[in-house]
Amino acid sequence: MVVKKLMSYGRYVLVMLLIVYLILAWMYFKDNAGQLTAFGLLLWFVIVPLSLFAFILALRWRQKKTESSTADAVYNNSEKERAKLPNTYRLFMYSSMCLPEGDNWSDVIDNNADLTLLSEDLTDFDGLPILTKPIIQLTDVAPLPYQYMHDTGLEDSDLNGLTLRLCSLIHKQLSLSDEVLSSIAQHFNVHNEQDTHEPNSAIDIHPDWQQHYLISADKKDNDESTVAPTDGSLSEFSIYLCVPEGADTDLLIAATKEQLSTYGFLDSLITINPIITSDTNPKNNVTYDPIQFVNEHVMPLAQSVSPELCLLIIADSQLNDEWLELQLYSSNTSNVIPTEAGVLLVFCNQAAQDVLNIDTCANILLTKIRAPDVKDISTQNADINDHGQSDVCLDNRRSYSHRLMRIKDLLLDNSFSLSSTTDKTHTQTELDNTTDKTNVLYQNLNVTSMTDINPEKQPYDISVYMSFINALTEQDILANEHYLGHYMPSNLWLKPFIGLSLFVNLINTNKQESDFIFLETQHKQCSLLWLADFS
């Protein structure tokens, strides 16, 4: 890139020198015409200008050759990227959601009613009630069966309204998932009963031999620990509770554990990890974001051969004075309407689904799509792995367009693999060199396409995505697109996961209406392609 600029600047300088030289030579010999001979005319007005002009053409030829070499390198690397299938991870997912519009796909997407209400508690600068968008069916925390809160008297305390509202929202989310949580708890209970009823042989023998027996048994266990196969059961239940700043996480964790105990979960088997979010300034980099959660927890879970699952609960409510002070009052934006939302997602791998056999889990193929900037050849050789780490920061507007082009190529070229990476028995070299392609898209298909783009704030991305949809329709494919990023737009976690929850809900309720369903969630340096596998 530096050499290219230097060549361009050099050409411009030589052109200017040629023009200045001709002007000065003409002015000189105009006043000294007697000194101009035939040889001087040939030298000063033909040979020297042609030499400068030839040097300019040489620089131009050299620049074109350099650009051609760069373009060929970019093209070759692009062809290699197209030939190499990205890693795909198989997941089984269950979801529930709680939005002002409703708690399922049809209620949310088809809801055209005005859901805004004048708040009885929140006021604007003039003391007038402001418009809010609450979840009307959400009950107050007082009647909820949280014995923990009643024993400590927290329901009558001055606990902030955000925490109380989140308690009610989390309770609603767990209640909507009764069937799935009961199935998981039943599995843990059966496994726990088998462990507790195993006889303790050391107690049944003579006291003088107990220590010798325990030492021998421990040695035997250590010898066999490296070769013992898995027993096909879940070992723990990891829960990630994502709540906004200002909420009392200790109380929310205690309330969540108490409600889960009603399904039969033992406290020792539950691990709740709080995740604190902040939407006071979404433009700043966050220390922990949704793509990092997917990289660190979801993808490793999918790759594991032993049964593993995790539960993600995201809850947020803006119906409080604290949020208004940080967002509404500080930015002086009168068009912001405070709202609230909650999402619950269960991620489990193939082994866990084989054990649990939950009918309401959707079969999903997850693929991370990255696209380097073709303007910089160095990005083609960037060290990029499945955990989203790269030496090159792709933070330009064209990056999203390149990622959609990659998705389009995978779909329209019928080269997208319907088998997850963990399902394949071939080596990576064999996968790179294989010519077999799995047919994904045929003509006359009814395709449902979703994205977490916010139409109100991302007009450029909307136009890019429409070009992507047009590329599908040109292949005689009926594409129905949905933009889901406007639900709870200021929360960086709810934006992609609300779309994912709606995606999973549609798969389970409308399998016959679409031949092909996929969701594309947009992140800073990549896109995640969530593909429904009906096979």
Rounded to a whole number of angstroms, the CA Rg of the chain reads: 32
pLDDT digits (tens, 9 = 90+) for 16-43: 887 887 788 777 777 776 666 777 777 7
pLDDT at 367: 92
Phi, psi of 346 (to 5 degrees): -110, 125
CA distances from residue 45 to 28, 29, 31, 41 in whole angstroms, order as listed: 12, 11, 16, 6
CA distances from residue 348 to 164, 302, 353 in whole angstroms, order as listed: 30, 7, 7
Q: Are strands 478-483 and 446-451 parallel, antiparallel or unpaired?
A: parallel
Residue 270 in 3-state DSSP?
strand
pLDDT at 389: 40
Distance of alpha carbon 70 from alpha carbon 74, whole angstroms: 6
pLDDT digits (tens, 9 = 90+) for 394-407: 445 678 888 998 88
pLDDT at 366: 95
Among 13-27, 130-144, 197-211, 492-506, the least confident range: 197-211
Query: If we measure between CA atoms, which residue out of 87, 91, 101, 13 comes closest to residue 507?
Result: 91
For the cut 50, the answer to whether the pLDDT of residue 432 exceeds it is no
First CA to last CA across the chain, in angstroms?
A: 48
Handedness of CA 488, 338, 134, 108 (dihedral sign): negative
Structure tokens at 189: 């209970």
3-state helix, strand, coil in the chain (%, to 5): 45, 15, 35
How many C-alpha atoms does 102 have within 13 Å on its Cβ side? 13
Structure tokens at 179: 């069937």
CA distances from residue 349 to 235, 277, 314, 420, 521 in whole angstroms, order as listed: 14, 27, 21, 11, 21
For the cut 90, the answer to whether the pLDDT of residue 437 exceeds it is no
Q: Are strands 117-123 and 362-369 parallel, antiparallel or unpaired?
A: unpaired
Q: How confident is the model at residue 475 (pLDDT cuts 50, 70, 90)?
A: confident
Question: What is the average per-residue pLDDT within 318-338?
Answer: 76
Among 136-140, 268-272, 412-416, 429-433, the least confident range: 429-433
Distance of alpha carbon 264 from alpha carbon 187, whole angstroms: 10
pLDDT digits (tens, 9 = 90+) for 151-184: 655 555 557 789 989 999 999 999 999 999 999 9
Structure tokens at 390: 């790269």
| Higher-confidence position of 106 and 415 | 106
Distance of alpha carbon 420 from alpha carbon 91, whole angstroms: 9
CB 92 within 8 A of CB 363: yes
Query: In DSSP terms, which residues pair with 501 in a beta bridge?
Result: none
For the cut 90, the answer to whether the pLDDT of residue 413 exceeds it is no
Structure tokens at 266: 């033992």
For the cut 70, the answer to whether the pLDDT of residue 266 exceeds it is yes
Note the helical H segments in 92-160. Answer: 105-109, 147-152
Distance of alpha carbon 165 from alpha carbon 98, whole angstroms: 13
Range 376-385, long-range pairs (CB < 8 A, 24+ positions) = 376/1, 377/70, 377/73, 377/74, 380/73, 380/74, 380/77, 380/78, 381/77
pLDDT at 72: 60
pLDDT digits (tens, 9 = 90+) for 200-252: 444 444 454 445 444 554 554 544 433 333 457 788 899 999 999 889 999 99
pLDDT at 44: 75
Distance of alpha carbon 471 from alpha carbon 473, whole angstroms: 6
Query: If we measure between CA atoms, which residue out of 250, 255, 238 comes closest to residue 293?
Result: 238
Distance of alpha carbon 344 from alpha carbon 97, whole angstroms: 6
Query: If we measure between CA atoms, which residue out of 476, 412, 405, 420 comes closest to residue 439?
Result: 412
